Structure 1
């Protein structure tokens, strides 16, 4: 997948394209349905499939104090879009100047002039242009004016429409299993492994702690079963703790992963410090509680690891090769 960070990176000789537009926060199943139909439309029109998105999220510009927490960061969004099979992604820097463009000005500048659009694939609830005055009907009218067709995608979901809001609600409640169903994959947080207080190591459960600048919405406090993919592409089962370590009167929320099945030989070679890792959440095992003493904490941690193994279906875990990372050219 090609990644263009702004109009100046779009090739001048770009051929015809099929285009969709959205924030794609989470790249959930609803987004994936749009992207699937985009790829189909691109094939039908012998065009390149291009997804147009924004950074930062428009709400961060217009309502910074009310902006919802982002499910994924830009890095994860690009990665997930690359897995859908589209040809390119155009990331537009969102600003008040961009927001001031009328629907017609926006479509002319970005879709027609820059992307040589032949077909636009969007949901019927699409909104774009100054004050979100552009609608699906507006897009159809502009298509008639500028010579592109418009394909409308119906809402995706059974009992409830798949949405980023639904994913955020599930993660805020610690219901990572429901979030996984809406996303079509486990929710992940990305970040660098940093040094912590080393309490886990002292207790016999050394953990990989993510730095505070990690990307991705952190689920509610608790203990989870999941997976950690290290910087070398090795994927390990893990028991993951999210919280402020109430037993030790902690304050700052931390994501800590105890890797299950780490090498028994040459343990010193298993060093994750400084690596960019991906932590995937499969299921919640329990909430976060404060224990009366260290023995009770250790006993509970042993039970957490046993339950994580059972949840992940790995009694004698060894690392697995992670799925190949899709190529992103930018």
Structure 2
């Protein structure tokens, strides 16, 4: 069988692995669980885990099911850009958030390799053989057809994978029209988010853009004005979109997934609160029509669905309150919620 194929292959003696409730994440190749090898694997930086990434991961899960093998994604920490271009790229979904998004795709294992200049200096062949042949015992690799630029000198590509697959006994399943195309690219998402077009970013991501963090105390002005907000800690994860007011969702990550109080509609404000001469840029979310929530110290995520307006400076608190009431009504319309009776 050719190592470069468009179709799945079912082993004559499939090895079934019981799926557990959580994905196994590990960082030391020497500690690879026996139940995750052999496997079907993929690899990449996966910043944002956008639709192109998800197409590969979906095919990975399908291929694993067809072969009766577990599925493993391999990624890197820190992101290579943080080593080589630390001042030029802001990540859409830094490490822990990226890992959470990857785990939601249905994979069985996530191997996070430490990325250093020494790691980058290994040849593409050494990387593939060490990681996928020796560590994971991969029977197939699922990648985008334009996968390239891995290994020393950025020489690795799909053709090399196919050659190594022929030599070492694994198939390469290459999916067309993926990778860093303009249609599905992390750079396009960054541009959309930094301009405030979160709806366009969601179209590439296949979901609303997400930030996660702990709720901390702020200036408490929102509560005084009748709109108490959950302020995300400064070290929250996820690219902060342009200043403005957004319709979105707040999810209380410590609550069970079936709890009706877990995911709530919200108006999200990003900016410095210029009406009150603020200087610190914050992200804060008001859960629509709720003044009874105590969210301090909770771990939450906020998802940005649509930008309502840019951040504005108002001449009086009365003007601000009028605008906030209009913002809340617009958020209700965008999110399809109603005023509680």
The alignment's TM-score, normalised by the length of structure 2, stands at 0.87
Distance 1:281 1:40 in 2: 30
For the pair 1:203 / 2:225, whether they are aligned, the reply is: yes
Partner residue of 2:318 out of 285, 295, 299: 295
| TM-superposition CA deviations, 1:251-300 (whole Å, max 9, x none) | 1110011111326xxx3xx2111111111111000001111111111110
For the pair 1:92 / 2:120, whether they are aligned, the reply is: no
8 A Cα contact 1:237 1:317, kept in partner: no
Distance 2:205 2:104 in 1: 13
2:61 match: secondary structure: helix
Distance 1:69 1:317 in 2: 39
Aligned to 1:251: 279
Partner residue of 2:302 out of 279, 285, 300: 279
| TM-superposition CA deviations, 1:222-244 (whole Å, max 9, x none) | 00011111232511111110001
Aligned to 1:322: none
1:182 match: secondary structure: helix
Distance 1:129 1:280 in 2: 35
Aligned to 1:310: 333
8 A Cα contact 1:229 1:236, kept in partner: yes
8 A Cα contact 1:239 1:257, kept in partner: yes
Aligned to 1:36: 58
Distance 1:69 1:212 in 2: 15
Q: What is the CA-CA distance between 1:36 and the residue it aligns to? A: 1.3
Aligned to 1:325: none
1:238 match: secondary structure: strand
Structure 1 residue ranges without an equivalent (≥5): 319-330
The answer to which of 11-20 and 54-63 deviates more is 11-20
8 A Cα contact 1:101 1:129, kept in partner: yes
Structure 2 residue ranges without an equivalent (≥5): 1-22, 257-261
For the pair 1:240 / 2:268, whether they are aligned, the reply is: yes
CA RMSD of aligned residues (A): 1.7
Distance 2:105 2:324 in 1: 38
Q: What is the CA-CA distance between 1:64 and the residue it aligns to? A: 1.4
In structure 2, the CA distance between the partners of 1:183 and 1:226, relative to structure 1 (3 Å rule), is same
Partner residue of 1:112 out of 115, 130, 133: 133
2:214 match: secondary structure: strand
Q: What is the CA-CA distance between 1:19 and the residue it aligns to? A: 1.1
- 1:1-330 to 2 correspondences below 5 Å: 1-12=23-34, 14-66=36-88, 68-127=89-148, 128-156=150-178, 160-230=182-252, 231-233=254-256, 234-262=262-290, 267=292, 270-316=293-339
The answer to which of 230-239 and 219-228 deviates more is 230-239
Q: What is the CA-CA distance between 1:156 and the residue it aligns to? A: 4.2
Aligned to 2:6: none
Q: What is the CA-CA distance between 1:317 and the residue it aligns to? A: 5.4
Count of residues paired in the alignment: 311
Q: What is the CA-CA distance between 1:30 and the residue it aligns to? A: 0.6
8 A Cα contact 2:127 2:151, kept in partner: yes
Distance 1:214 1:162 in 2: 25
Distance 1:189 1:152 in 2: 31
| TM-superposition CA deviations, 1:83-128 (whole Å, max 9, x none) | 2112111111111111011011111111111000111111122231
Q: What is the CA-CA distance between 1:12 and the residue it aligns to? A: 4.4
8 A Cα contact 1:45 1:118, kept in partner: no
Distance 1:229 1:216 in 2: 15
Q: Which has the higher contact order (CA 8 A, sep 6+)?
A: 1
Aligned to 2:14: none
